[in-house]
Structure 1
């Protein structure tokens, strides 16, 4: 059978050295904020000409495989193409049409991804929840990863000194200490000899009485990882991508939002005789300099996204008042516990040593790991109840605060009753105002 991944041909419109190319290279990536994005390329390209809309001809770059029914690759070919998509499907719609099939052995990790629902009038966040991932997400991701690997192999064959690749270094063994100890505390063994060993361990780390345990372990595993980076093949000799268990990898599938993919498209086009090369494309020093900027821009985009989520989270809880929620302990510190609230995908720290409170009796054990507070022991993955509130005592540095509700510790736990803010009357005021305007 034949399977194809078809990516918008952005490099057809963004030619080397023109003003659009220079600006895209500087930006490096699209920045995603809550309710807004800062595009790397103009909207005419990102939302129209380079968007594979249904029933419209669009230029594309295709990666096509001949596969066996068990997803073994028999042949790979690449081609510039014209795509006329028959349907634009959401993941939910696609889920009803196809079943997910894993075609490789990548390491599946987890990280809470939150989504805000905004008030259409005020643009304030009115609901916050974790993003639901369907099986079709995984299936599409698997084919995208395979396309990236196939393209990486091709451009390296043609440009051994000038291929733009992406590597993910293996973490030092000590990085896994917290994960191994946390799993052991629940009677589970996590092997970290290789990415495959880790993936197998995580897949088998199930607890019928604690279904969320596997997700927590994957979140911890994510924290153990190193940062993936772009590099020039002629300036490095370690190509391995640890997280994907692949000896070589690159980015090809998102040229609308990543400049690295545009360079990869140009290299691939030259490799198949669909375009001509140019001096900067085969200058490994300039490519290495470009990779440094792309890595920096990618990191800054991540920081901006996190800051945007943090800001909107503050707005959300400002309007909610004090909220009590169930949480799980992710990390145990010497004087605090770091918890994750699944309902919101929110992480925070509960401190047991504070200025205005008597100092409690604390006993920290690094081996389990655990923290005993006034005789009550907290271990990784224990369930607790916390309250969440916005601390606005410093207007310039507002932050989300968490305090322990359960288990109760005299002098350190807070009452479980939620306190609603006075601003909760705002919707009623709005209704009255609208009625007056309507009259």
Structure 2
């Protein structure tokens, strides 16, 4: 193992050299000479130089000389496009930098690159030229194998990897045409030469059931199987709670308690108790005490942190914790004793939390309720369902009453509700999609949503004022530039938003979303509003949540499927037990930044994989509907065509080249497509009839053509 101290000394020596008067750009052999580096230390010097390059402190120019970067030199992450050009996102900067196709230097999607920003041209976005690849983003690629006589090549699944990977014959591992494979890149190539690699795993044939989703799993490096050391631990996980543990906890097993989840949910991690005295609601939100079984630093904990979150793909779940925990001892199943961490809140008629208590508890859920049945009680007053659950009906009606109070309180402060029609994709045993429809949200899902939100806010505010190291869920204010663009866009539809002192209040966006309810442009403007906002993330600093218009917010309610919740449970329990001494506080101060950062990254990875699978299944579904006609709404317009969304949430494109009745051009100012001769106009939100002409599962695209109504 290398001595870190020696490497650190060499780093200091190099940094001093680059800031001294002796400095001038020079090659490696000249640096070895001038710094009098002995032969046996050359490799160490090279390692430190590579470190300094990856940190952006020095650059290696095309002449092989190490030198200081100029003011116009930056380091960022390259995002490729299917058409060859790309963009570089630099940490801390709002606007990305455009990289023309001839200036990418062979960079691949996800690479960390160094670039020179070209002299700015007035009125245009910044452009740059990549001068070196600092760090490769991917060493393995998933794709489809194609065999040639003396070699093979792999077409990457991710369209942002724009070049095929050459596979020498001896490294094909016996793959045949149509095999989905994992390729280890052995040579990244350059702007003139394709990358080269070797097949390390064959996932199966492109047409085999489940191979499509497994390709996405591998592509996003999602860990599937639990390692052996984790599986061994499961032998010691009990099936029932230890009776001795009950003595150390608040026993609320005799309080009427229910869980409310979807029909197919297996991991029930939250339960509710509710009563009312006078004008005061007593709400209890009880969350599975996962940390009792997942100890800090143990194999289970290390694996949960690595995964960061459970991933929900159409036909499978990749859990953060093994099923023995998530569906067993940590699941708040009915009529069994379970350990919980509870937040008891006293809430007045205006939705204000007057007081609260957090406690370690033991609970026993009376019923496992579904959203469907609770909605039948509170929405439809269904006699049959109400009779079946008659002892619980008053509690559900009280839940509906309190949920409305809490929703109104959030509404008044400006909390934004994005009620998008999410897709529910139903597949058969072979993974083939047989039905796609909007996911229904009802009053029962909204009840649980409100109760989880208020618990998350209450816990976050408590720990903020205690000044204890913590993990918050934060959402920054939108970028001024993006809000300006949104303002210009919605003006075309006759709407406006007020921006005060260069910042927008969430209430303004909330008002906009209320105004567009039930209009043809609702889905479109809602999506664009969402895109103009930043991504929520996990942070150690409490900077508030813009979308919820909340000063304090955290994720407390799902430790079975999200690591940040599990992490803060651990802190809360140590605090309740009086164990947060200076040593432990210092421990958390050092640890939490990386936990928050890593959790944000794994969440984004899960979101992207889920979207990819959804897109793939939608295309696969439409393969069986080619030639059929549907009614849809124009959801987007670009210079090359119009996007149309169908009622079942599937989106496809009408290419401008396929619009045969006229030559159409894109009127960018008004976001509409206009016929040059006929002056026919197609606008966002307009209803159109389309025919499905193509569904390409490989490219993930669906093509429509317009169908004229017969007069």
Class of the TM-score when normalised by the shorter of the 2 chains: 0.7 to 0.9
1:188 deviates by: 3.5
1:322-370 deviation line (CA, Å, top 9, x unaligned): 33222222222223222322x221223322137xx98963333333222
1:195 deviates by: 0.5
Out of 551, 560, 564, the position equivalent to 1:247 is: 551
1:169 deviates by: 1.2
Structure 1 pair 182/386, CA: closer, same or farther in 2 (3 Å)? farther
- Provide the secondary structure at the position in 2 that maps to 1:54: coil
Counterpart check, 1:402 vs 2:703: yes
1:151 deviates by: 1.2
Distance 2:515 2:641 in 1: 30
1:206 deviates by: 4.1
1:183-215 deviation line (CA, Å, top 9, x unaligned): 4444344446310121123223345xx4x5444
Out of 58, 69, 77, the position equivalent to 2:349 is: 69
Out of 9, 15, 19, the position equivalent to 2:299 is: 19
Q: Which residue of 1 aligns with 2:125?
A: none
Q: Is the 8 Å Cα contact of residues 622 and 695 (structure 2) preserved in structure 1?
A: no
Structure 1 pair 383/191, CA: closer, same or farther in 2 (3 Å)? farther
Counterpart check, 1:85 vs 2:365: yes
1:21 deviates by: 0.4
Distance 1:159 1:20 in 2: 29
Distance 1:57 1:383 in 2: 54
Q: Is the 8 Å Cα contact of residues 352 and 360 (structure 1) preserved in structure 2?
A: no
Q: After superposition, where does 1:54-133 map in structure 2 within 5 Å? A: 54-95=334-375, 96=377, 97-98=396-397, 99=400, 100-101=403-404, 102=407, 103-105=409-411, 106-120=415-429, 122-133=430-441
Structure 1 pair 138/218, CA: closer, same or farther in 2 (3 Å)? farther
Q: Is the 8 Å Cα contact of residues 169 and 226 (structure 1) preserved in structure 2?
A: yes
Q: Which residue of 2 aligns with 1:173?
A: 480
Q: Is the 8 Å Cα contact of residues 317 and 389 (structure 1) preserved in structure 2?
A: no
Structure 1 pair 288/58, CA: closer, same or farther in 2 (3 Å)? same
Structure 1 pair 345/190, CA: closer, same or farther in 2 (3 Å)? farther
Out of 340, 344, 368, the position equivalent to 2:645 is: 340
Distance 1:280 1:358 in 2: 69
Q: Is the 8 Å Cα contact of residues 691 and 707 (structure 2) preserved in structure 1?
A: no
Out of 36, 39, 43, the position equivalent to 2:316 is: 36
Counterpart check, 1:148 vs 2:456: yes
Q: After superposition, where does 1:149-228 map in structure 2 within 5 Å? A: 149-160=457-468, 162-177=469-484, 179-181=486-488, 183-191=490-498, 193-206=504-517, 210=519, 213-228=521-536
Structure 1 pair 255/275, CA: closer, same or farther in 2 (3 Å)? farther
Distance 1:358 1:306 in 2: 33
- Provide the secondary structure at the position in 2 that maps to 1:371: strand
Higher mean displacement: 53-62 or 328-337: 328-337
Q: Which residue of 2 aligns with 1:433?
A: none
Q: Which residue of 1 aligns with 2:617?
A: 312
Distance 1:276 1:389 in 2: 64
Structure 1 pair 176/359, CA: closer, same or farther in 2 (3 Å)? farther
1:15-48 deviation line (CA, Å, top 9, x unaligned): 1010000010101000110010000001011112
Structure 1 pair 389/36, CA: closer, same or farther in 2 (3 Å)? farther
1:275 deviates by: 5.8
Q: Is the 8 Å Cα contact of residues 620 and 695 (structure 2) preserved in structure 1?
A: no
1:388-425 deviation line (CA, Å, top 9, x unaligned): 35444xx7x243322232458xxxxxx9xxxxxxxxxx
| Rg larger for | 2
1:181 deviates by: 4.6
- Provide the secondary structure at the position in 1 that maps to 2:598: helix
Q: Is the 8 Å Cα contact of residues 388 and 400 (structure 1) preserved in structure 2?
A: no
Q: Is the 8 Å Cα contact of residues 28 and 294 (structure 1) preserved in structure 2?
A: yes
Q: Is the 8 Å Cα contact of residues 2 and 66 (structure 1) preserved in structure 2?
A: yes
1:281 deviates by: 7.2
Q: Which residue of 1 aligns with 2:244?
A: none
Q: Which residue of 1 aligns with 2:667?
A: 365
Q: Report the TM-score, using the length of structure 2 for normalisation.
A: 0.52
Distance 2:483 2:528 in 1: 9
Q: After superposition, where does 1:282-301 map in structure 2 within 5 Å? A: 282-301=587-606
RMSD, aligned CA = 2.6
Higher mean displacement: 296-305 or 314-323: 314-323
Distance 1:165 1:384 in 2: 45
Structure 1 pair 142/245, CA: closer, same or farther in 2 (3 Å)? same
- Provide the secondary structure at the position in 2 that maps to 1:320: coil
Higher mean displacement: 277-286 or 257-266: 277-286
1:7 deviates by: 0.8
Higher mean displacement: 183-192 or 214-223: 183-192
Distance 2:316 2:586 in 1: 33
1:261 deviates by: 0.6
Out of 509, 534, 537, the position equivalent to 1:229 is: 537
- Provide the secondary structure at the position in 2 that maps to 1:116: strand
Distance 2:586 2:309 in 1: 19
Which is bigger in relative contact order (C-alpha 8 A, separation at least 6)? 1
1:121-177 deviation line (CA, Å, top 9, x unaligned): x342111111010022122111111111111122223344x2111211111233235
Q: Which residue of 1 aligns with 2:389?
A: none
Higher mean displacement: 170-179 or 83-92: 170-179
Q: Which residue of 2 aligns with 1:376?
A: 680
1:242-281 deviation line (CA, Å, top 9, x unaligned): 1110112111111000011111111222232376577587
How many residue pairs get matched? 394
Q: Is the 8 Å Cα contact of residues 626 and 691 (structure 2) preserved in structure 1?
A: no
